[in-house]
Structure 1
């Protein structure tokens, strides 16, 4: 060990993977979380932060590289922060995601559960996303190589992703392997056209500029939606850019913009302006079609969303007589996916615009046994609501990463439902909620699904 303030531990073996894409090493009784290594590496670790129960650190010299490693595909790996496991073989990514589910159920839920089904991996481990959001910034992030090169950068404009831990610095992306070739071409064209015409990239600190964000959505039906956000409306420049995009990419189905002078990038409360085509694209799943607007939520991996929903439907094992509640229904995709196997489906979601999408998609697919309600879950899902709309036979819940409010969990436990299917993108918060449900229910099936290859994130379904 060296250095008192930032000690270095030499020849330390990385032994396991942890949450948030970090790895674990142990020195005597101390746990160290490391962001730039994987299990099997042997390295010198410099401590960057000391907590009471653990340290945080980074590998500064590798003595041995893990056999679990692979060569990262993206040149931005290690800086971007988006694909933290891209240097790990995919089979090992799946291994540690499955382990994450096991650890959460064991250490957090502390309940009995059966053997976990093998994780369902993704056939496509690159170019699987149907949506990417890019930010414009006049504060381009300079990499260590660029700083050490001594070049003076007069153009600090960037279009890409925010650097983790910073709110005003954006990495200028020259390639991304998450969405596909059309996304690459559109992003590159917009950036170069903006630079050539001296458009002002956004300054988030002082809230000034013209270009704010670029969103590209693609669908399994082959349709494309492109969304620009402008901080202020400079009509001539806006029309020039939007017309250039439309002319150079005639395959775009929906070309949209927002004028957003707010302090954040959300546009759910803003007017949709259509330049070309319609204000939605279509997604399809089995015999269903879903309208996806610029404000609509849809699982960002269409292929794996289908696998996830099939697991949910299989766990529900409906026979056509059941009253099904779908909590946190979003745009109603799961509710509509199981509707033809149920007597009635009730979907609840806080975001009113999402519920309007759900109702629209029910009409589009001629589904008449689904009802949708917009309200905060903890305020609407209670004993009175159940009394008015009928006792659920099956409850499907797919909450956000934070999990469910305790009142919702306890109401669910009182509901009398014969089955609860809990879909989660965060095994830790899911495990916390399952500990409460364990008072009335027992886990009989567990199925992890990998929705996000190259990352540490994992989806998990529990019956």
Structure 2
């Protein structure tokens, strides 16, 4: 986000422009009018990362405009970030005046939750020794947070290296471990709206769900209540470990999680090659009725699109509406859009999150 673009008075206009852009991108596919889910105007972002910038004897939180690493935007607070981050910023700044904590500190990262937990990562251009650990322990206790210290070849944890989010979807509570350094949804309030929409769009099913790009299980946990069983895949080791912990913490036993990329799973389902990581899993025993995908900005590759075509229903969450439209163009001869939505995860930017439910045209047997 360009900091100069932050202006809550323009929010409604910016959101209307995104809605029109999504409407135009999906118009060739006769999409219904998108459901629109707004963001809070302030304090919506649960993650923030700042460089430290020195002016004389003082150091400040700093951000930079895209493409400009030499002209800092100095900050005392950050109104788009959670209230917890804003409360911690001045207290942490006071603490780095301590030479042990502040010496060669160059970057600070905050990770918070809607439920109030916080993790701070401090990044250094020097080795961290016992005196740093003692000072960091006092600071963590004082702030009521966990701390991670990072320098070249070092990663020291004070407390835990994750936060735990608590979310309620359709009357059921879920806890999510969100590890330091792993991807999590930045806008917690809009993430909740996405989860509710996906839960409703999937509906109650008597068949099985295949999920690609499952991350830490953000969607996997609530969607598992809507189907008989779930096979979920993710390639990031950190996210897989978090997802496995989340399954255990929530007592969910109808999900099998496999560390495979979408491309690898496509090869396995097509019988191109076997994978040791699928040992003990009988793919033929699944009765998949829906595939759920939340791909990176590049969207689904051609082969994964062709795999998705075999499913009666495709539930697709996208962080890039252009690649979403490209994927739908590949699928439109067999599937139609029955629902679509705009989730404003990133206010005051051109970025948007969107969702579509694609259903197979007519009655066609899933091959």
Matched with 2:252 is: 367
Residues in 2 aligned to 1:113 and 1:327: alpha-carbon distance in whole angstroms: 26
Match of 1:116 in 2: 33
Q: How does 1:304-319 map to 2 (within 5 A)?
A: 304-319=190-205
> Runs of 4 or more off by more than 6 Å in structure 1?
198-201
Partner residue in 1 for 2:48: 132
Distance 2:210 2:7 in 1: 38
In structure 2, the partner of 1:432 is 326
Shift of 1:246: 2.5
2:289 pairs with 1:393 = yes
- Which SS does the other structure have where 2:5 is aligned? coil
1:335 to 216, 220, 225: 220
Equivalent residue, structure 2, for 1:67 = none
2: CA distance, partners of 1:366 / 1:244: 35
- Following the alignment from structure 2 to structure 1, what is the Cα–Cα distance between the partners of residues 196 and 116? 22
Aligned to 1:187: 89
Counterpart of 1:255 (choices 147, 150, 166) is: 147
The secondary structure found in structure 1 opposite 2:76 is: coil
- The residue correspondences of 1:22-421 to structure 2 (distance < 5 A) are 81-82=2-3, 84=5, 86=7, 88-106=9-27, 111-122=28-39, 124-137=40-53, 154=56, 157-167=59-69, 170-195=72-97, 197=99, 210-235=104-129, 238-239=132-133, 241-243=135-137, 245-249=139-143, 251-252=144-145, 254-260=146-152, 271=155, 273-275=156-158, 277-286=159-168, 287-319=173-205, 321-382=206-267, 383-384=270-271, 388=284, 390-413=286-309, 415=310, 417-421=311-315
- Secondary structure of the equivalent of 2:140? helix
If the length of structure 2 is used for normalisation, what is the TM-score? 0.84
Offset at residue 127 of structure 1 (A): 0.3
Assess if the C-alpha contact under 8 Å between 1:134 and 1:213 holds in 2.
yes
Paired with 2:107 and 2:285, the residues of 1 have a C-alpha distance of 42
- C-alpha contact (below 8 Å) 1:113/1:444 kept by paired residues: no
Q: CA RMSD of the aligned region, Å?
A: 2.6
Residues of 1 paired with 2:9 and 2:303: CA distance?
A: 40
How many pairs does the alignment contain? 342
Matched, 1:461 2:355: yes
Distance in 1 (alpha carbons) for counterparts of 2:316 and 2:75? 37
Separation in 2, partners of 1:403, 1:186: 36
Q: Does the residue aligned with 2:29 lie in a helix, a strand or coil?
A: coil
Please report how far the alpha carbon of residue 394 of structure 1 lies from its aligned counterpart in structure 2 after TM superposition.
Answer: 0.3
**Is residue 125–residue 454 contact of structure 1 (8 Å, CA) maintained in 2?**
no
Structure 2 distance, partners of 1:366, 1:357, is 14
How many Å apart are 1:444 and its aligned residue? 1.5
Question: Does the CA contact (< 8 Å) of 1:175 and 1:184 recur in 2?
Answer: yes
1:41 aligns with: none
Cα deviations by residue, 1:306-341 (Å, 9 ceiling, x for unpaired):
11011111111122x221011111111111111122
Name the CA distance, whole Å, in 2 between partners of 1:342 and 1:247.
43
Task: State the distance in 2 between where 1:114 and 1:341 align.
Answer: 25
**Displacement of 1:375:** 2.4
Q: Distance in 2 between matches of 1:187 and 1:241?
A: 18
Once the 2 structures are TM-superposed, how far is the Cα of residue 241 of structure 1 from its aligned partner? Answer: 5.0
Comparing 398-407 and 277-286, the one that deviates more: 277-286
Greater mean alpha carbon deviation, residues 210-219 or residues 239-248:
239-248
Question: 5+ residue gaps in structure 2?
Answer: 275-281, 358-367
Compared with structure 1, are the counterparts of its residues 338 and 87 closer, same or farther at alpha carbon in structure 2 (3 Å cutoff)?
closer
Aligned-pair CA distance for 1:302 = 1.6
Task: Considering Cα pairs closer than 8 Å and 6+ residues apart, tell me whether 1 or 2 has the greater RCO.
Answer: 2
Aligned-partner Cα distance in 2 for 1:118–1:85:
24
- What TM-score do you get using the length of structure 1 for normalisation? 0.67
Maintained 8 Å contact 1:126/1:453:
no
